[in-house]
């Protein structure tokens, strides 16, 4: 396979992408653009017509996908090939939501039965908790669940659970502790009763400092409040692939939910890591979440490249990163329940595609993953949208809106939608100087002032956006939406020829953190590191500046 920048499509795109007409013109030339450049899959609707692409751009982007072997890479992932080559692992979050009858093999062993057994174990646990059958050591019903985990073992469960609030049981509350800052857990525990609280400790490796420390503090709190070592079995469960370590830690073997090394942390909410979600929304809704994701998996695996939602979104991202120098991508959710989603997509994409070498270990000579950021519409419109509209950086945007609200209230939802659509329109069409002058025609300003202000009001437009709609935010549509972004991330990584499934940068931070911790507690000042690190460590040891 030729190097990415040597492919014919890449070279043609470098020239062609600069010659595409302004989107205003593209819409004027082709009234059918919306129909031609929108599609539905898995309960989602994508309008990608407001992008800097014409027919030729599309054919070149699809050619790029072909020249880089995208379809074979997709097949390899679904079939459980070792595509995470630096960790020698398969990448099978899709197996977590596959049909019970599927046969997906890792090293010759079908992993689906184990997945199904774990789902059954989750169902038993979730049922017992929700029906009040799981009682604490004093016989009281559990009322509060505290999920302790960080990164991939935290963000997915928290954000999905928050997004599905309309489906929560009224009998339970779920709290999350991720940060090792003692304030996080102290603030939570202060409000809880140890007799009615259950902790879910989520750590794939069972070796993450923050999670271990928070769990130890939770255990101490429980014992200090009156529980015994034996009572821990009724108040602590764990989700991990390291059963030995979890048992050594004191978690009852019967209370350990397995996960597997072929599931990456940031792709793991579909496994028992999703237990806090299932506790709050129930197992039927959790299965609906999996079904929604499966629907998107089936679409991704089978739809032709030119009608494939994750492929289209992934190729557009490559277009902007590599041919329009976009360094960030904004996700704007027009739904209060989805306010956390940009942070989830941020981890998903940035941890996956923030890479500087190809699979073969060669330095890339092109940009890889952009910064992903975003927030809740309409709030952002009164803040950072200004830069998206008139700043000098090109920031492609995704707008996400359910057509029906869970809380219909007067004109609220129509206003929300009008803002969402109005923003994409403004980004696309902009405002020319003559339009700005015309708007000022009836003002009492003098001609010079009018001209000056008109210049400031000019918006170049031609700013790209995708709009994703769904009927309503449900477990199934949310499952499909998250799977869409997972696969979009995969498509970009596949084109860029990088490993989207390792995270050596994160690992280095974990190792150095442990080394520094030892130095903070050492009997003597630090002298062996660089001057800045020594200085900071020694100030901490002193306790004041
Ligand atoms: C995700 C990352 C990272 C990981 C956390 C927690 O893909 O690898 O965010 O999820 O570091 O790791 P553990 O689950 O092993 O505690």
Q: pLDDT tens across 70-87, in order?
A: 999 999 999 999 999 999
Of 219, 227, 224, 275, the C-alpha closest to 250 is 219
β-sheet bridge partners, residue 110: 105
CB neighbour class for 91 (10 Å; exposed up to 12, middle 13-18, buried from 19): buried
Question: Percent of the chain at pLDDT above 90?
Answer: 97
The answer to whether 350 touches 266, Cβ cutoff 8 Å, is no
**Domain 504-543, CATH class in plain words:** mainly alpha
**Ligand 1 atom, smallest distance to 210 CA:** 16
State the pLDDT at residue 2: 62
Expressed in angstroms and rounded, the spacing between residue 473 Cα and the centre of ligand 1 is: 27
Handedness of CA 335, 340, 345, 348 (dihedral sign): negative
CA 113 to each of CA 8, 82, 97, 240, 273: distance values in angstroms, whole numbers, following the listed order: 44, 20, 12, 18, 18
> What does DSSP assign to residue 354?
-
State the pLDDT at residue 188: 97
Domain definitions of the chain by residue range: 4-67+303-429+463-496, 93-286, 504-543
Rounded to 5 degrees, what are φ and ψ at 520? -65, -30
**Ligand 1 atom, smallest distance to 150 CA:** 6
How crowded is residue 26: how many other Cβ atoms within 10 Å of its Cβ?
Answer: 21
Question: What pLDDT digit, counting tens, does each position of 355-383 carry?
Answer: 999 999 999 999 999 999 999 999 999 99
The CA distance from 335 to 355, in Å, is 32
Expressed in angstroms and rounded, the spacing between residue 342 Cα and the centre of ligand 1 is: 18
State the virtual CA torsion across 476, 480, 483, 485 in degrees, nearest 10.
-130
The CA distance from 406 to 404, in Å, is 7
Expressed in angstroms and rounded, the spacing between residue 175 Cα and the centre of ligand 1 is: 19
Q: Is residue 486 annotated as part of the catalytic site, yes or no? A: no
The single residue listed with the structure tokens 């403004």 is 426
Over residues 252-262, mean pLDDT: 95
Assess if CATH 3.40.50.10490 describes domain 93-286: yes
Candidates 241, 265, 513: which one to mutate for ligand 1, based on the most atoms within 8 Å of Cβ? 265
Q: ω before 365 within 30° of 0 (cis)?
A: no
Q: Does this chain's domain 4-67+303-429+463-496 share its CATH topology with 93-286?
A: yes
Q: Strands, DSSP E only, in 81-187?
A: 105-106, 109-110, 144-148, 173-177
Question: Percent of the chain at pLDDT above 70?
Answer: 100
**Domain 4-67+303-429+463-496, CATH class in plain words:** alpha beta
SS3 for 492-538 is HHHHHCCCCCCCHHHHHHHHHHHHHHHHHHCCCCCCCCCHHHHHHHH
Task: Assign 3-state DSSP to the chain and report helix, strand, coil percentages, each to 5.
Answer: 55, 15, 35
CA 521 to each of CA 128, 516, 518, 525, 526: distance values in angstroms, whole numbers, following the listed order: 44, 9, 5, 9, 10
Q: Is residue 351 annotated as part of the catalytic site, yes or no? A: yes
Task: Please give the radius of gyration of the chain, using alpha carbons only, rounded to the nearest integer.
Answer: 26
**Ligand 1 atom, smallest distance to 211 CA:** 16
Question: What pLDDT digit, counting tens, does each position of 465-500 carry?
Answer: 999 999 999 999 999 999 999 999 999 999 999 999
Question: What is the band of 1 on the pLDDT scale with cuts at 50, 70, 90?
Answer: low
- Among 88, 170, 382, 542, which one carries the catalytic annotation? 382
Nearest protein CA to atom 11 of ligand 1, as residue: 151
The CA distance from 457 to 464, in Å, is 19
Confidence check: pLDDT of 250 > 90 = no
Pocket (CB within 6 angstroms of ligand 1): 150-153, 203-205, 208, 211, 264-266, 351, 503, 506
Expressed in angstroms and rounded, the spacing between residue 42 Cα and the centre of ligand 1 is: 28
Q: Provide the mean pLDDT of the chain.
A: 97
Question: What pLDDT digit, counting tens, does each position of 309-335 carry?
Answer: 999 999 999 999 999 999 999 999 999
SS3 260: coil
Question: What pLDDT digit, counting tens, does each position of 304-313 carry?
Answer: 999 999 999 9
How crowded is residue 430: how many other Cβ atoms within 10 Å of its Cβ?
Answer: 19
Nearest protein CA to atom 8 of ligand 1, as residue: 265
Confidence check: pLDDT of 405 > 80 = yes
The CA distance from 182 to 186, in Å, is 6
Question: What pLDDT digit, counting tens, does each position of 117-175 carry?
Answer: 999 999 999 999 999 999 999 999 999 999 999 999 999 999 999 999 999 999 999 99
CA 130 to each of CA 141, 150, 254, 392: distance values in angstroms, whole numbers, following the listed order: 10, 25, 19, 52
Confidence check: pLDDT of 509 > 90 = no
Expressed in angstroms and rounded, the spacing between residue 152 Cα and the centre of ligand 1 is: 5
Of 325, 336, 294, the C-alpha closest to 78 is 294
Question: What pLDDT digit, counting tens, does each position of 430-449 carry?
Answer: 999 999 999 999 999 999 99
Helix (H) or strand (E) holding 404: strand 397-404
Confidence check: pLDDT of 401 > 90 = yes
The separation between the first and the last C-alpha atoms of the chain, rounded to the nearest angstrom, is 57
The CA distance from 146 to 125, in Å, is 15
The answer to whether 129 touches 146, Cβ cutoff 8 Å, is no
**DSSP code per residue over 4-62:** GGGSHHHHHHHHHTTTPPPHHHHHHH-TTHHHHTEEEETTEEEE--SSS--HHHHHHHH
């Amino acid at each position: 396979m030729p190097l990415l920048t040597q492919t014919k499509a890449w070279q043609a795109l470098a020239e062609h992408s600069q010659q595409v007409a302004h989107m205003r013109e593209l819409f004027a030339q082709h009234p059918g653009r919306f129909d031609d450049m929108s599609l539905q899959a898995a309960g989602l609707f994508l309008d990608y017509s407001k992008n800097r692409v014409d027919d030729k751009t599309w054919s070149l982007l699809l050619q790029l996908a072909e020249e880089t072997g995208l379809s074979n890479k997709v097949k390899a992932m679904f079939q459980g090939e070792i595509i995470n080559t630096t960790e020698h692992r398969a990448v099978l979050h899709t197996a977590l939501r596959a049909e019970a009858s599927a046969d997906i093999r890792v090293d010759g062993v079908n992993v689906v039965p184990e997945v199904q057994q774990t789902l059954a174990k989750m169902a038993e646990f979730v049922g017992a908790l929700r029906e009040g059958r799981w009682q604490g050591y004093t016989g009281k019903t559990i009322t509060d669940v505290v999920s302790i985990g960080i990164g991939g073992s935290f963000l997915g469960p928290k954000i999905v659970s928050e997004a599905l609030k309309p489906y929560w049981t009224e009998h339970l509350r779920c709290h999350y502790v991720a940060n090792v800052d003692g304030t996080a857990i102290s603030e939570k525990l202060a409000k809880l009763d140890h007799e009615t609280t259950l902790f879910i400790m989520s750590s794939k490796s069972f070796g993450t400092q923050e999670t271990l420390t928070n769990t130890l503090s939770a255990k101490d709190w429980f014992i200090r409040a009156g529980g015994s070592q034996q009572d821990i079995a009724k108040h602590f469960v764990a989700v991990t692939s390291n059963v030995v370590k979890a048992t050594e830690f004191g978690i009852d073997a019967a209370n350990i939910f397995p996960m597997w090394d072929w599931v990456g942390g940031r792709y793991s909410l579909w496994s028992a890591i999703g237990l806090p979600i299932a506790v709050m929304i129930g197992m039927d809704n959790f299965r609906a979440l999996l079904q929604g994701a499966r629907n998107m998996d089936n679409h991704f695996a089978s739809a032709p490249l030119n009608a494939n939602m994750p492929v289209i979104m992934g190729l557009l991202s490559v277009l902007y990163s590599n041919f329009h120098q976009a360094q960030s991508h904004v996700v704007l959710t027009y739904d209060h329940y989805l306010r956390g989603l940009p942070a989830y997509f941020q981890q998903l994409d940035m941890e996956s595609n923030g890479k500087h070498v190809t699979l073969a270990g060669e330095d890339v000579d092109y940009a890889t993953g952009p910064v992903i950021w975003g927030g809740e519409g309409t709030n952002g419109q009164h803040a950072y949208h200004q830069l998206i509209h008139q700043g000098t950086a090109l920031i492609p945007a995704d707008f996400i809106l359910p057509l029906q609200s869970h809380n219909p209230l007067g004109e609220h939802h129509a206003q929300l939608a009008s803002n969402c659509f109005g923003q994409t329109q403004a980004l696309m069409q902009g405002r020319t100087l003559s339009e700005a002058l015309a708007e000022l025609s009836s003002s009492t300003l003098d001609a010079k002032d009018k001209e000056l202000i008109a210049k400031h009001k000019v918006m170049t437009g031609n700013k790209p956006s995708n709009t994703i709609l769904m009927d309503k935010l449900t477990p199934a549509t949310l499952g499909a939406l998250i799977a869409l972004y997972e696969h979009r991330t995969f498509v970009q990584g596949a084109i860029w020829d990088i490993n989207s499934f390792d995270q050596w940068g994160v690992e280095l931070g974990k190792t150095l953190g442990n080394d520094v911790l030892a130095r903070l507690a050492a009997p003597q000042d630090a002298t062996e590191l660089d001057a800045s690190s020594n200085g900071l460590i020694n100030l901490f040891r002193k306790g004041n500046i």
